[in-house]
């Protein structure tokens, strides 16, 4: 296994050759913007992966990295967790897709209803966008209203992505039906509900993003939704199974009407679910939430294995410990290298970001150079970490040792005004560009 060091720049020839081929075959050269070449310094970073195990990943050129993005968060247990792999292999012998509903999907639905105290029904999808879009459609059908108030990121479907700068192809009429509101600002939410009194079908939000809710905030949102007859939807594709085994309800004690889970539920095998109150979920008898692979048994089997592991092992406690060590170590390095004006950390132990600023380029130049140098040290540095149960103390120590060297170099280049000269590849680009 090859791990590149700072004394020998990694070779990315195969990745770049594959990228040239992809430019002739795949628009954007990726299926997921946040995994694509625009998110790393092109020419000084890998583009394609070929293998992963535990908390590590290998690129097309054979370079090995400690993998902290972990496929954008699904891999709570790590790549190739044996229990999940075994469940999938066993299911392969019995079939993947069937011409009738399966006993397996019923059993998983019953298990999730028992898992979340507020849940009385469950419906499955494949992606988080399936779940959030299904929940919004259900809310509109249940209330007979059209307006949706949103807070956070909720997937690629028209009803949400129309609120972002990636709204090409979304009709204006659709864009006008969804309105974003700021997190931790109950007054603004109340104003929007009053402004659109009687017209709001749903309040959909990530119950926690990079910061925790203010004391009483989620309770205020819950009360406002009830008072205005709006369906409260928690998008827990990120927080589910990371901040608590029972997600936001387990951590904060606030129950939504509907909740959407994905990512960690399948540990990399595609599956998502909507759970919620029977009175709202019964509308799924009438609305069209139906697709060929909604009951795909590989996802069902993987989810069952994930829940088994979460029940018997201290997964979240260990992930929190790993993440806390990372956060504390990075914060110490920022202080040691006097980079507080340029770098900070935001988020929680199980999901946190390194933020860059004051580089004359909205932080993107500094982020690009950081990524380039961290990659040279064998760290797949997306600028954020989603620790898994497969990561260990050695991974943390190795990462912090590399970051120590990287921060030292950044401090030197910043003080000499040579940061732009240090970048050997292209500057990274934001997924959502400024309007």
Residues 248-267 have pLDDT tens digits of 999 999 999 999 999 999 99
What string of DSSP letters covers 293-352? TTT-HHHHHHHHHHHHHHHHS-HHHHHHHHHHHHHHHHHHHHHHTT-TTTEEEEEETTEE
Q: Model confidence at 435, in pLDDT bands (50, 70, 90)? A: low
Check residue 434 and give its pLDDT. Answer: 63
Give the DSSP H or E segment for 265: none
Q: Is the pLDDT of residue 54 over 70?
A: yes
Q: What is the pLDDT of residue 6?
A: 46
Residue 3 has a pLDDT of: 47
Neighbouring CB atoms inside 10 A of 132's CB total: 29
Q: What is the mean pLDDT of residues 66-83?
A: 97
Mean pLDDT, the chain, whole residue set: 95
pTM greater than 0.85 = yes
Contact 134, 274 (CB under 8 A): yes
Answer yes or no: is pLDDT of 5 > 50.
no
Q: Token pair of 112, please?
A: 């999730």
- 142-162 pLDDT, tens digit each: 999 999 999 999 999 999 999
Kindly give the residue spans of alpha helices, DSSP state H, lying in 144-296: 158-161, 172-175, 186-195, 217-227, 247-252, 278-281
- Residue 112 and residue 284: Cα distance in Å, rounded? 17
Distance of CA 373 to CAs 113, 186, 244, 352, 376, Å? 46, 42, 34, 20, 5
pLDDT confidence band for 10 (50 / 70 / 90): confident
Question: What tens digit of pLDDT does each residue of 207-248 get?
Answer: 999 999 999 999 999 999 999 999 999 999 999 999 999 999
Pair 78, 388: CB distance under 8 Å: yes
Contacts of 287 (CB under 8 A, 6+ apart): 134, 137, 138, 141
List C-alpha distances in Å: 242 to 122, 131, 185, 343, 409.
20, 18, 24, 25, 33
% the chain with pLDDT above 90? 95
d(CA 186, CA 304): 37
Structure-block tokens of residue 43:
């020419």
Domains of the chain: 13-79+315-422 (3.90.1150.10), 97-295 (3.40.640.10)
Average pLDDT value for residue range 305-331: 98
């Amino acid at each position: 296994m090859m791990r590149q060091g700072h004394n020998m720049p990694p070779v990315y020839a195969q990745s770049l050759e594959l990228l040239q081929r992809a430019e002739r075959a795949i628009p954007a050269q990726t299926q997921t913007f946040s995994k694509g070449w625009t998110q790393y310094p092109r020419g000084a970073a890998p583009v394609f992966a070929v293998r992963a195990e535990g908390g590590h990943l290998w690129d097309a050129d054979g370079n090995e990295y400690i993998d902290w993005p972990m496929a954008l968060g699904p891999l709570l247990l790590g790549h190739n967790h044996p229990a999940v792999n075994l469940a999938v292999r066993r299911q392969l012998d019995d079939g993947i897709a069937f011409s009738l509903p399966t006993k397996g999907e019923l059993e998983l639905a019953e298990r999730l209803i028992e898992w979340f105290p507020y849940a009385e029904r469950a419906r499955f999808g494949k992606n988080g966008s399936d779940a959030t879009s299904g929940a919004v459609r259900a809310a509109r059908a249940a209330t007979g209203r059209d307006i949706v108030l949103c807070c956070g990121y909720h997937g690629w479907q028209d009803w949400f992505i129309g609120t972002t700068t990636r709204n090409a192809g979304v009709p204006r009429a659709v864009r006008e039906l969804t309105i974003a509101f700021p997190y931790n600002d109950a007054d603004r939410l109340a104003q929007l509900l009053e402004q659109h009194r009687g017209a709001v079908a749903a309040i959909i939000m990530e119950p926690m993003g990079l910061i925790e809710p203010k004391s009483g905030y989620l309770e205020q949102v819950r009360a406002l939704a009830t008072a205005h007859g709006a369906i409260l939807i928690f998008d827990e594709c990120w927080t589910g199974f990371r901040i608590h085994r029972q997600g936001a309800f387990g951590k904060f004690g606030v129950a939504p009407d509907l909740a959407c889970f994905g990512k960690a539920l399948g540990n990399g095998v595609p599956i998502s679910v909507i759970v919620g109150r029977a009175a709202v979920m019964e509308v799924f008898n009438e609305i069209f939430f139906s697709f060929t692979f909604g009951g795909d048994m590989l996802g069902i089997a993987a989810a069952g294995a994930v829940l088994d592991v979460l029940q018997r092992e201290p997964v979240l406690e260990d992930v929190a410990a790993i993440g806390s060590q990372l956060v504390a170590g990075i914060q110490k390095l920022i202080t040691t290298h006097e980079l507080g004006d340029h770098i900070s950390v935001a988020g929680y132990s199980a999901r946190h970001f390194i933020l860059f600023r004051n580089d004359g380029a909205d932080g993107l130049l500094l982020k690009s150079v950081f990524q380039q140098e961290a990659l040279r040290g064998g760290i797949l540095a997306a600028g954020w970490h989603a620790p898994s149960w497969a990561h260990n103390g050695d991974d943390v120590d190795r990462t912090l040792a590399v970051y120590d060297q990287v921060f030292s170099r950044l401090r030197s280049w910043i003080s000499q005004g040579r940061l732009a000269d240090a970048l050997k590849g292209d500057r990274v680009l934001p997924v959502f560009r400024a309007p």
